């Protein structure tokens, strides 16, 4: 059986979505072999920011892999996410040094201020909270990555203050809701 050449967008009328080119290219480079599943899922996440259900169905059909296996791989590996990320991300290191240095207090402060746990995004889609097993920044524990910028020896109130600033901005111009 030949692999499907149709991306999910073919059915929805958005065939101009170029994000599928990366995904299809990855599968072609591996001759649509089932062993290309993880690499293909990386391509989907790189293109879409997460693994939407329609993309997992498409990968399943294209690589001739049961959908249950695609879902199992997508949920097993920490790197993959099924939900769209927030506009901003906060990653709290949970390595031993960071844990001892105060990572649980940071997570607790974020939960109290925003009502989210690691792996969740605020209802407005502004902030995603993630945790990592180790960032390799033990010398500056506790370490947090705020929008790809690492901050060390950081206090919970400093993290919450940054997240509140992110939450208050209504667009990329830096205007706050009160300055319209």
φ, ψ at 176 (rounded to 5°): -100, 165
Say whether both 105 and 162 belong to one domain. yes
**Same domain for 123 and 153?**
yes
Is residue 21 located within the same domain as residue 94?
no
> What is the pLDDT of the chain when averaged over all its residues?
87
List, for residues 17-34, the tens digit of each pLDDT value. Answer: 788 999 999 999 999 999
Q: Tell whether 163 and 97 lie within a shared domain.
A: yes
Question: What is the structure's pLDDT at 85?
Answer: 86
The alpha carbon torsion through 126, 99, 79, 14 (nearest 10 deg) reads 0
The predicted structure's pLDDT at residue 79 = 79
CATH number for the domain harbouring residue 114 = 3.40.30.10
Q: Are residues 94 and 56 in the same domain?
A: no
For residue 38, pLDDT beyond 60: yes
Alpha helices in the chain (DSSP H): 8-12, 19-29, 37-48, 53-63, 67-76, 96-101, 103-114, 156-168
To the question of pTM greater than 0.75 for the whole model, the response is no
Res 41: pLDDT:
97
- pLDDT surpasses 50 at 13: no
Does 104 reside within a domain? yes
Residues 64 and 95 in one domain: no
In a domain? residue 179: no
The residue segments making up the domain with residue 36 are: 8-76
* Overall domain count for the chain: 2
Give tens-digit pLDDT for 83-138. Answer: 888 999 999 999 999 999 999 999 999 999 999 999 899 999 999 999 998 999 99
Domain termination residue (choose one: 76, 99, 118): 76
Distance CA 85, CA 122 (A): 10
Please tell me whether residues 33 and 100 are part of one structural domain: no
Residue where a domain stops, chosen among 33, 54, 76: 76
pLDDT of residue 179: 39
Instruction: Tell me what pLDDT residue 2 has.
Output: 39
| Calpha distance 54→36 (Å, rounded) | 18
Report which secondary-structure segment, H or E, holds 146: strand 144-146
Is there a single domain that holds both residue 110 and residue 151?
Answer: yes
């Amino acid at each position: 059986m030949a692999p499907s050449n149709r991306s999910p967008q073919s059915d929805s009328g958005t065939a101009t979505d170029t994000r599928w080119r990366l995904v299809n290219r990855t599968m072609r480079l591996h001759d649509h072999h089932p062993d290309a599943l993880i690499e293909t899922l990386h391509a989907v996440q790189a293109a879409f920011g997460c693994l939407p259900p329609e993309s997992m169905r498409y990968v399943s059909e294209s690589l001739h892999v049961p959908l249950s296996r695609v879902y199992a791989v997508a949920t097993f590996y920490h790197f993959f996410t099924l939900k769209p990320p927030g506009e901003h991300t906060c990653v709290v290191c949970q390595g031993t040094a960071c844990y001892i240095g105060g990572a649980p207090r940071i997570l607790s402060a974020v939960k109290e201020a925003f009502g989210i746990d690691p792996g969740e995004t605020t209802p407005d889609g502004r902030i995603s909270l993630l945790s990592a097993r180790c960032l390799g920044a033990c010398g500056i524990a506790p370490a947090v990555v705020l929008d790809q910028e690492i901050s060390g020896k950081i206090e919970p109130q400093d993290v919450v203050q940054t997240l509140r600033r992110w939450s208050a901005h209504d667009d990329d111009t830096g205007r706050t809701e009160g300055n319209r």
